[in-house]
Amino acid sequence: MKVTFPHLGNTYICVKSILDDIGIDYVIPPFNNKRALELGTRYSPEMVCLPLKINIGNYIQAYEMGADTILMAGGCGPCRFGYYSQLHMEILKDAGFNMEVITLEGTDIMDLLSRIRSVVPGASELMKLPSVLLRAVEIAKRSDEIEMLAFRTRARESERGATDRIYNGFREKALRTAGTKNILKLLDETEAMLKSVHLDPDADPLKVGIVGEIYTGIEHFASFDIQHRLGRLGVEVDRKVTVSNWIIEHMLKKPLHLPRDMAFAEAAKPWLGAMIGGHAQETVGNAAIYAKSGYDGVIQIFPFSCMPEIVAESLLPSVERDLDIPVLTLIIDEMTGEAGYMTRIEAFIDMLEGRRENLERRKAHGMRKGKKAHDNIHA
């Protein structure tokens, strides 16, 4: 058995380190690329969502490298992700790629454990599994923290490109680093390097919250690398939907029936009071949280035809109006043109800069008026 798995941001770091520790042979598909998208588009039904198409491209590229078994996370609820694994199997079978799909998510913990057991080679590896999985969760958390740290330093760095050099180097080095313990060391080194990046002391970057469908938020290829590009334009981004959050909240706490962090659901209540599938409730709730935390704007990104995000998109103008925060929505599919997309982003950023200057001018004017009134009273 030679397993593979789809790309989703830095998830490969976490998954490969588990497979290294328990001695499972694996293939990592090439990082997401144009060919993966073309292959996925060729073999998938036209109207399925973009993440599924890129996943299919990953599997075919991994198949070409010798993979025969796919490990993927599963899901349930009112969106298409719940039947992704079945669709993957059917599409690959029809296209003549003989691959088995193992879905790692059960509705209860025993189901999840029995699926994990089916890929672990022997009893001694099974014994190692709990400590390996604990370190893997730590890796997922630390990888996300590194990404968020890079979002902050990129927008403030004195030397343009310093953060990218460290961050891209980390992703490459992770491919050649085996096992959870070594990956944790690599994360320590990367964090120290990012913290040593020289920052412009006068930098006061615009702050933009990224919301939307999880795949297009996390997987940079699927959104033309928007979060890094914004950083290079001197904009600090933040994203609350992360891989570690998904693992902890959905894959661990949910089957164990542990209390989950539902701050987004509370924040979304005035506009969306129910879970409607995908990350729609997170999109609306996190947009409201960003507005209340003083962010300059919010960008929603989602794949064309994503049902939950279409509902969220229809609610965001109300959040925009009620909480006075500009929102830009970007919808992506395999036909989206990069140049037009970047023009919209740059225009949005120009608008946010102008808005911030106006707000500051009005604030300064208000303070001057207040001081004048105060001086008159005490004259």
**Between residues 231 and 278, which has the closer beta carbon with respect to ligand SF4?**
278
Give least dist CB 349 to ligand SF4, A.
26
Please say which residue, 51 or 231, places its beta carbon nearer to ligand SF4. Answer: 51
| Tokens matching residue 201 | 């002391």
212: left (phi over 0), alpha (psi -120 to 50) or beta: left
Q: Are 208 and 297 in contact (CB under 8 A)?
A: yes
Burial readout 318-357 (b: 16 or more C-beta within 10 A, e: otherwise): ebbeebebbbbbbbbbbebeeeebeeebeebbeebeebee
Q: Which of 162, 166, 303, 319 binds ligand SF4 (CB under 6 A)?
A: 303
Q: Rounded to whole angstroms, how far apart are CA atoms 333 and 327?
A: 20
Minimum CB distance to ligand SF4, residue 360 (Å): 38
Q: Report whether 241 contacts 329 (CB < 8 A).
A: no
Q: Single out the segment in contact with ligand SF4 by CB under 6 A; choices: 75-83, 88-96, 141-149, 198-206.
A: 75-83
Among 116, 308, 319, 331, binds ligand SF4 (CB under 6 A): 308
28-57 positions binding ligand SF4, by CB under 6 A? 49, 51
Asked if 120 and 114 count as a contact pair (C-beta separation under 8 A), the reply is: no
Q: Are 74 and 42 in contact (CB under 8 A)?
A: no
Residues binding ligand SF4: what is the number (CB under 6 A)?
13
Pick from 129, 307, 323, 351: which binds ligand SF4 (CB under 6 A)? 307
Pick the binder of ligand SF4 from 140, 306, 332, 349 (CB under 6 A).
306
Both structure tokens of 114: 């029995």
Looking up tokens 């996190």 gives: 286
The DSSP secondary-structure symbol of 199 reads B
Which of residues 151 and 246 has its CB atom nearest to ligand SF4 in the complex? 246
48/32 Cα distance (integer angstroms) = 18
Rounded CA Rg of the chain:
22
Min dist. Cβ of residue 105 to ligand SF4 (A):
14
Using CB under 6 A, pick the residue from 7, 16, 53, 80 that binds ligand SF4.
Answer: 80
Nearer to ligand SF4 by Cβ, of 16 and 80: the residue is 80
Site string for ligand SF4, 202-221 (x = CB under 6 A): -----------x-x------
Among candidate residues 29, 15, 12, 18, the one with its CA nearest the CA of residue 67:
29
Q: Which C-beta is closer to ligand SF4: that of 74 or that of 297?
A: 74
Q: Pick the closer one to ligand SF4 by CB: 132 or 241.
A: 241
**Interface with ligand SF4 in residues 228-287 (CB under 6 A):** 278
Interface pattern 172-201 for ligand SF4 (x via CB under 6 A): ------------------------------
Nearer to ligand SF4, 297 or 308 (CB): 308
Per DSSP, the three-state class of 210 is strand
9 binds ligand SF4 (CB under 6 A): no
Q: For the purposes of burial, counting CB atoms within 10 Å of the CB of 145, is it exposed (0-12), middle (13-18) or buried (19 or more)? A: middle
How far apart are the C-alpha atoms of 2 and 67, rounded to whole Å? 5
Our CB check for ligand SF4 shows the closer of 10 and 44 to be: 44
Q: What single string gives the DSSP state of each residue in 91-112?
A: HHHHTT---EEEE---SSHHHH
Choose the binding region for ligand SF4 from 262-270, 307-315, 350-358, 368-376 (rule: CB under 6 A). 307-315
CB of 211 closer than 8 Å to CB of 300: yes
Stretch that binds ligand SF4, among 22-30, 110-118, 197-205, 302-310 (CB under 6 A): 302-310
Among 81, 151, 170, 271, binds ligand SF4 (CB under 6 A): 81
Which parts of this chain interact with ligand SF4 (CB under 6 A)? 49, 51, 79-81, 213, 215, 278, 303, 306-309
